Structure 1
C-alpha cells in the first residue's frame, strides 16, 4: 500500500473520496493503480487529473455512486457497472437491516486492500463470470440465528468465514470490532482483523488456483505436509488439544499447525502483510540504518532478495511493536518468523513470482 497526491499537492489515502484541501472528488483507478482527483466530463463521466492523457474517461462504480461503500472507478468503455473489485461480489448483506450498511462498508474497505495487493503482485484476479471453474468471488453473509454466539466452527444457522471452490465467505459479524475482539480472546488468538481474514482466505483460493495438481505440489508437501490428511479431523483435534507444542519453530502462527491447508493460508497472509506494509514504509521513506527500506519491487529481481526483505520486515515490526507499546496498544505484529516458517514464506514468494500474469 502507498499514499497518493491530489492535483493540488495534498496527500491522499486509499479510502479517501474527497480532497480535504481543494474539495475535489476522488476516485481510485484500478487499471492504473492510482488515486486521482476527478474533473467532471459529460454523461456521468469523469476525467482523471493524475494523467496527461486527455482522452481517459471513467465513471463511478455503482457501489460508489449509489451505495457509497466504494471509491473505485470503471473505465468508460467497460460495460460492467461495477469496478474491478465490486464485480467479484456474489452476495452482499441485507441493507434493510440496521447497521448492515456500516458493516458492509468496513468489509469492502478491507476487500479493496486485498485486491490492491493481489494486483500489485500481478496475481490473477478473475471473477466467476469469466471463469466459472477457477474464478474468484466474495459472499458477505450473516447468521440466521441471532441467539447463537458466533464462532468459527459453525452450527445451526451459522455462516462460516472461509473459502470453497473460489468463493470467499465473510461472516458479517466480523465487521463488528467488539464481536471480533470477543472471538479473538475466546479462541486465544494473537491477531484477528477483517483484512487478516481476507488475506488468509485468499491463501486458500490461491492454493486451489496455483498449487493444487501443479508441479508445486511435491515441494508444498515437503514443507507444509500432506494436505490429503483428513481436514475435519485435523481441525477437531486442533480445537480440542491446541497447536503442537513446537509450533513456533515450524509455523507462522499457532493456527497454522492445524492442517497443511491452514499452514499455507496463514503463511500466505503473512507474506501479504509483509509486502503491503513494507511498501507503505517505503512510501513514507522510512530507513534502516540510513538506507531506504526494501520493498517488493526490489525482491522481484531475484528470489535471494527475499532475505533482505525479511530482514527489513523484522526491523520494521520491532519498531512498530515498540511504538505501539509506547501508546499502550497491543503489538501491531505479535508474531516471530523463525526456522521452517521462513522457508515456507520463501516458497510462497517463489510461487507468486512464478505465476505473474
Structure 2
C-alpha cells in the first residue's frame, strides 16, 4: 500500500479516510488513478478532484459511500453505475436491521478494498459477476441464523464471508480454538481469492503440472482430506514444507494459503518502500534493509531478501510494545519455492502494458 496525502493541504491521509483531518476536504479513492484524492464540491452531487492526474474530470460518491458510510471510493460522473468498482463485486450484504451489522459490513468492506487494491496493483484481471456471469468474482456477506450456519469459503467465483468474522472477539476465539497463529479479515479475503485465481490461472493451464510438483495432486478427494485433517490434525513435521498447518489439508488449501501469504508480503513491502523504510544498524551483524526498488519492478529474490529484515524489525517492535509477533511464521525452502511459483504465475498472467 502506497502512502497518500491530501491534495489541498498535503496532510498525510490513509486509504480508509473520508475527510482530511487538517482541512476537512472530502477524500475518496479513484481507482482509475490508483490514488486517494481530495475533492471540492461542484454542486448537484458532483465533486471535482484536486489530484493533478484527474484534470477537469468530475466524480460522484459511490452509493455505499454517500448513503451507507461503508465505502470511500468515487465514480466518474459520466458512469451509469451507482456503485463503485469495489462495491460492484458485492452480492449479498448484511441485514442492517441488526445494529452491529453495519459495523461488521464496514470492516468487511475495508478489508475487501485493500485486497482489491493489491490485486489491481499486481495487474490481475478482475471481473464482477455482472461483467462475467459464469466466471466473475462475487462477495457474499452472510450471517448464521439458528441451525443455518454460514461457512466462509469459495465456490465457483463466489466468496462467502461469515460476517461474524468481523467481530474481533469471535475471530480471536476461533483463532485460539483452531490453534492458528494468525486470523484476520484481510487474510480471509486473500485466502479465498486464492481459490478463485487457482481456477483462473492454474487449473487447466500449462501451470498445472508444475503446480502438482510443488503442491500435490489437486484431484485428491477434498471432503476426505478435510475429514482426515480435522480428525488427525497436520503431520508432526508440517512446518518443514508448509506455510501453515491448514495448508497440509489439501493441495488447494496449500495454494490458497501460499497465495494469501504472497499478497501479505508484497503489500507489506510496498508499504515499507512507500514510507522510505530503511534499516541501517551500527553493527554489521544486524539485518540491513536498503533496497528501495518498487515492488512492481522487483524480482522474487529481491522480495525475499528484503522480507527477513522487515519482519525482524516488525517483530522486534511488537515485542517492545508487549504485543505478539506481527509475523509469526517461518519460510523453509519448500515454502519459498511455492511462493516463487505464485510470483511466476502472477507475473506471466498480468496483461502486458
| TM-score after normalising by structure 1 | 0.94
1:297 aligns with 296
CA distance in 1, matches of 2:264, 2:294: 12
Which residue among 265, 274, 278 is the counterpart of 1:287? 278
CA distance in 1, matches of 2:50, 2:15: 16
Q: Does 1:341 align with 2:332?
A: no
User: Runs of at least 4 residues of structure 1 off by over 6 A?
Assistant: none
Q: Within 5 Å, give how 1:56-205 maps onto structure 2.
A: 56-145=57-146, 156-205=147-196
Q: Within 5 Å, give how 1:27-46 maps onto structure 2.
A: 27-46=28-47
CA distance in 2, matches of 1:189, 1:98: 30
Q: Which runs of 5+ in 1 are unaligned?
A: 146-155, 300-304
Instruction: Provide the aligned C-alpha RMSD in A.
Output: 1.1
Which residue among 230, 242, 245 is the counterpart of 2:236? 245
1:312 aligns with 306
Task: Check conservation: 2:33, 2:53, Cα contact below 8 A.
Answer: no
CA distance in 1, matches of 2:226, 2:47: 50
Q: Secondary structure of 1:195's partner?
A: helix
CA distance in 2, matches of 1:290, 1:170: 37
TM-superposed CA distance for 1:292, in Å, is 3.6
Relative to structure 1, the CA distance from residue 110 to residue 229 in structure 2 (aligned partners, 3 Å threshold; closer, same or farther) is same
CA distance in 1, matches of 2:233, 2:318: 28
1:321 aligns with 315
TM-superposed CA distance for 1:134, in Å, is 1.1
| TM-score after normalising by structure 2 | 0.95
CA deviations on 1:244-277 (whole Å, 9 max, x unpaired) are 2221121111111110000000000000000000
CA deviations on 1:87-132 (whole Å, 9 max, x unpaired) are 1100000001120000100010000000000000011111011111
TM-superposed CA distance for 1:291, in Å, is 2.0
Task: Check conservation: 2:202, 2:208, Cα contact below 8 A.
Answer: yes
Task: Check conservation: 2:289, 2:306, Cα contact below 8 A.
Answer: no
| Count of aligned pairs between the two proteins | 342
Task: Check conservation: 1:278, 1:293, Cα contact below 8 A.
Answer: no
CA distance in 1, matches of 2:82, 2:323: 41
Task: Check conservation: 2:33, 2:54, Cα contact below 8 A.
Answer: no
Q: Secondary structure of 1:273's partner?
A: helix
Task: Check conservation: 2:122, 2:296, Cα contact below 8 A.
Answer: no
CA distance in 2, matches of 1:339, 1:129: 41
Task: Check conservation: 1:295, 1:309, Cα contact below 8 A.
Answer: no
TM-superposed CA distance for 1:53, in Å, is 4.5
1:256 aligns with 247
CA distance in 2, matches of 1:249, 1:116: 32
CA distance in 2, matches of 1:52, 1:311: 34
Greater Cα offset, 235-244 or 259-268 = 235-244
CA distance in 2, matches of 1:171, 1:56: 38
TM-superposed CA distance for 1:42, in Å, is 3.2
